[in-house]
Amino acid sequence: MSSKVTDYKSFKEFASGIFGDGFIPLHRPVFGGNEKQYLAECIESNFVSSVGVKVSEFENLVASFCGSKYGIATMNGTSALHVSLLLVGVNSGDEVLTQATTFIATCNAISYCQASPVLLDIDEDTLGLSPYSLKSFLAEFGDVRSNGTFNRITGRRIAACLPMHTFGNPCRILEIVEICNEYGIPVVEDAAESLGSYVNSKYTGSFGKCGVFSFNGNKIITTGGGGVIITDDAELASRAKYITTTAKVPHSWEFVHDQIAYNYRMPNLNAALGCAQMEQLDTFLTKKAELADQWDIFFTKKKINFFRPIDGNISNNWLNTIVLDSKKERDEFLKNTNEIGIMTRPAWMLMSDLVMFQSCQTDGLKTSRWVQDRLVNIPSSVPD
């Protein structure tokens, strides 16, 4: 393994003991409930597209699970992020504060609004946006005016903050919201990876003005492809539903649309899958917590740092994570494990290293780079 662990055989044995023989993926879906029955009900009802009872049922299941008033289902997490940013007021030419350590969808959604990301550092112990970095950035560059907070360097309006809960580990969301409130900046949570994670008994996604989940095939539960926006804001919820359904003015037969909008609504077939998956979420969470404990014991024995959330934060354990001593160790580990059929992966390239976002303002990203060189995700599927 790394210089500390040279025994990849024991890793393979341990992983096979949990996930069975053969190739071990990073995260595969589990369909162990009413999936087939609900899908069949959709097909028999003829309602397979975005009109259908399963869509609102799924929205309600997700919102009520998180303790939020409203849920709006979309065709994927990226479209949910796009719509959320538009609805909190992100316009062309604006800036959105986010973290450099994230999946491309976060920055793509900002770009779809013709806004630009400002890429800030993460905390080493949460892997999410650092409130310290946020506060320092705003103290230095935040120019508070009557019509918003502006960036002193670029002159652009800072229209939103988009923190992400990395691999299911909650970021310091309470501190982030408090800082943003001081500057009048709305917070949208990219909770795509963190359904079921919480901070002081409150679920991620429910702290900001709205929060976004993804139900892609690799997430903790799946709808095939899908997303949900949760919010307590009735106005935002109804606008979200409206602009994800082509801004069609309700009428029995006329096609009246009063703005350019999107066909982003989740189809009933996908929602049917989601309803069945939501019924299993508690079980998945329990099994994933047990798996994380097993990995923790395994790696701790080998003196390898198994990543755990900070006190008061509970992770859904979406992707289990280890932090090795150096990039060299990380690369060796990735090579050796993938060679023996155990899928492991590094963190995403920092957004600031991708051609599209190279010219974005950053704050140096010291911790992001340190983490990027050392972090590895290990197999995390719900065990059978």
Ligand X SMILES: *Cc1c(COP(=O)(O)O)cnc(C)c1O
Binding site for ligand X (CB under 6 A): 76-78, 102-103, 105-106, 164, 190, 192-193, 214, 216, 227
Type of residue at 248: K
Min dist CB 72 to ligand X, Å, is 14
Residue 75 vs 276, nearer CB to ligand X? 75
- Identify whether the C-beta of residue 204 lies closer than 8 Å to the C-beta of residue 189: yes
Min dist CB 99 to ligand X, Å, is 10
Min dist CB 2 to ligand X, Å, is 26
Strands 188-190 and 210-214 turn out to be: parallel
Residue 189 vs 373, nearer CB to ligand X? 189
Min dist CB 116 to ligand X, Å, is 18
Size (the chain), residues: 384
Residue 27 vs 330, nearer CB to ligand X? 27
- Identify whether the C-beta of residue 89 lies closer than 8 Å to the C-beta of residue 158: no
Which residue's Cβ has the minimum distance to ligand X? 77
Nearest alpha-carbon partner for 321 in 119, 26, 102, 101: 26
Min dist CB 214 to ligand X, Å, is 3
| 260-264: long-range contacts, CB 8 A cutoff, minimum separation 24 | 262/79, 262/82, 262/83, 263/50, 264/74, 264/75, 264/79, 264/80, 264/82, 264/83
Min dist CB 351 to ligand X, Å, is 11
Min dist CB 287 to ligand X, Å, is 21
Type of residue at 128: G
Residue 5 vs 228, nearer CB to ligand X? 228
Residue 157 vs 165, nearer CB to ligand X? 165
Compute the distance between CA of residue 252 and CA of residue 257 in angstroms, rounded to an integer.
13
What are the start-end ranges of the E strands in 60-201? 70-74, 95-99, 116-120, 142-145, 148-151, 158-162, 188-190, 198-199
Residue 5 vs 107, nearer CB to ligand X? 107
Residue 50 vs 149, nearer CB to ligand X? 50
- Identify whether the C-beta of residue 250 lies closer than 8 Å to the C-beta of residue 228: no
Compute the distance between CA of residue 383 and CA of residue 209 in angstroms, rounded to an integer.
35
Min dist CB 104 to ligand X, Å, is 8
For residue 366, the surrounding DSSP H or E stretch is helix 366-374
Residue 117 vs 227, nearer CB to ligand X? 227
Residue 50 vs 106, nearer CB to ligand X? 106
Angle at 301 between CA 298 and CA 307, to 5 degrees: 65
Residue 185 vs 228, nearer CB to ligand X? 228
DSSP lists the bridge partners of residue 129 as: 122
How many CA atoms, within 13 angstroms, populate the side-chain half-sphere of residue 293? 6
Min dist CB 19 to ligand X, Å, is 22
Q: What is the 3-state secondary structure (H, E, C) of 162-216?
A: ECECHHHCCCCHHHHHHHHHHHCCCEEEECCCCCCCEECCEECCCCCCEEEEECC
Cβ-proximal residues to 384 (8 Å cutoff; 6+ apart), any chain: 20, 30
Min dist CB 81 to ligand X, Å, is 6
Token duo for residue 380: 């995390």
